[in-house]
Structure 1
Amino acid sequence: MIPKILKGVPAQKSGGFHDTESRKVFDQALIPEKFEILKKRFFSVNQWESYSGKAFAAFKLHNFNGDPVDREPLIGDFIRIDIPGPGEAEAKGYDWVKITDICFYEDSFSESLSITCEPSVNPQNKKSGHIAHFYSSAASSTFIISRSTDYLQAAVYGRNERPNRNAKFLDVIRNFAIAIGGMMGIAKIQWKQLTDSFLDFD
């Protein structure tokens, strides 16, 4: 399998990757209305868990200083992730990513929005420079929603996924276990749950 090459998605260079996509066809007259709902869901990071269910990870948006916020995300913000199971001990059980890019594309027939995140330090711990995530700093996740003339799509594209070895011994073991599971397809199943839920308007 070869990773898709898409505008706004970092190039795949090494490690694992995934292309997780959900697509739903609608009557053309409903596309604008449904896409507005999708955009609201997409930019409500703190609500992602409520769309996909309690078994999924919980996401909380924080500003550049590490303070929790309830607004649309901005470049430079952080997202605190609470995945089921043991978390990063040094980061008090959480994983952290930083929003490095937010892009918007539009032409006569389509429109898309993307948010790219990379593993980051814990912004609430000013004394630590360690990446507080099970993937290394080279990894990325790009979330994209898009509309065409007759369908909506929600997707997550993971790139350059390698275990984070720059951590304490027990965290390294935990990072390897989660990262290997992710690269074997477990993460794709979980992301599919989120992308499907974004498009569930019933």
Structure 2
Amino acid sequence: MSMDIPKQEEGSKMDVSAKTAFDHVEAAKVFYNIARMRLLEVYNWDELCNLPSATFILTDELGNPVKRAVAEGDHFKIDIPGPGTEVGDGYDWVTVEQVYEESSAANQLTLIRVRPSSNPLHKSEETAHFFKDKATSTFTVTRIGNEVYAEVHGRNEIANTDSSGIIDRIRNTIIGLSAKVGLSFPQWQSLVDGLVRNNG
């Protein structure tokens, strides 16, 4: 099973995980499919979190909101608490680079990788996110035997201080530094906990 997480080269990195174990492999397989759909239905992520957090709106490649499983080329339109970016019309944007699934008798994996992007509703190529576009976030749900894991891996997280607007530069620096010192950790931990929460 290959989990394709980009190499850490510069800036910060972040890793969070959660797991649920079952007495029998068959029960884990059934629950994996539940967790997999939770992962793929990005537009419901904020409902999985047990704390006030970012709101995730799944859009197609043109920026139109959609309610379906995520696909490569889609975008996440992210509303984080506090002021948003001017270039992003008040939102942070990422593009979905990869959606990957793999399955065997012993293991199963669903992976989504995203990268900061421009706002698809505008012609500007400027990155509309508090991190530079070298950063990636990889979201996974995995079944290994009778255990189901959810993980988030952030790599090469560097504050986006290249924005054309001074307000965006200041905002991105503050939020980027907050993430660097771990203030985004509770949100991602809440998400992975929610992805593998066994409601019975």
TM-score range, shorter chain: over 0.9
Amino acid at match of 1:135: F
Percent identical residues: 32
Q: Is the 8 A contact 2:20 2:198 kept in 1?
A: no
What SS class does the counterpart of residue 186 from structure 1 fall into?
coil
What residue in structure 1 maps to residue 167 of structure 2?
170
After TM superposition, the structure 1 = structure 2 runs for residues 126-141 of structure 1, keeping only pairs within 5 Å, are 126=123, 128-141=124-137
Structure 1 equivalent of residue 27 of structure 2: 30
- Listed one character per residue, the Cα deviations across residues 29-70 of structure 1 (whole Å, up to 9, x for unaligned) are 311111111111111111111111461111111111111111
| 2:154 is the alignment partner of 1:158 | yes
In the other structure, the counterpart of 1:3 is none
Distance 1:45 1:60 in 2: 7
Match of 1:146 in 2: 142
Do 1:112 and 1:144's aligned partners in 2 also have CA atoms closer than 8 Å? yes
Residue 61 of structure 2 is matched in structure 1 by 64
CA distance, structure 2, for counterparts of residue 54 and residue 149 of structure 1: 31
The aligned residue for residue 113 of structure 1 is 110
CA distance in 2: counterparts of 1:45 and 1:189, whole angstroms: 18
- Alignment partner of 1:90 out of 87, 92, 96: 87
2:182 corresponds to which residue?
185
The CA deviation at 1:7 is 2.7
How many Å separate the matches in 1 of 2:61 and 2:146? 38
2:122 matches 1:125: yes
Aligned residues between the structures: 196
Contact 1:8 1:103 in 2 (8 A): no
- Structure 2 distance, partners of 1:55, 1:15, is 26
- CA drift of 1:130 comes to 0.9
Unaligned runs of 5+ in 2: none
Which letter maps to 1:14?
A: E
List structure 1 segments (4+ residues) > 3 angstroms apart after TM superposition: none
CA–CA distance in structure 2, aligned partners of residues 178 and 125 of structure 1: 23
**Matched-pair contact (CA < 8 Å) for 2:58–2:77:** yes
Question: Are residues 1:19 and 2:19 paired?
Answer: no
Q: Which secondary structure does the structure 2 equivalent of 1:46 belong to?
A: helix
Name the CA distance, whole Å, in 1 between partners of 2:161 and 2:6: 22
TM-score scaled by length of structure 1: 0.93
- For the Cα contact (< 8 Å) 2:51–2:187, is it kept in 1? no
Which deviations, in whole Å up to 9, do the C-alpha atoms of 1:100-127 show, x marking residues without a partner? 011122333111110000000000112x
Q: Which residues of structure 1 form unaligned runs of 5+?
A: 1-5
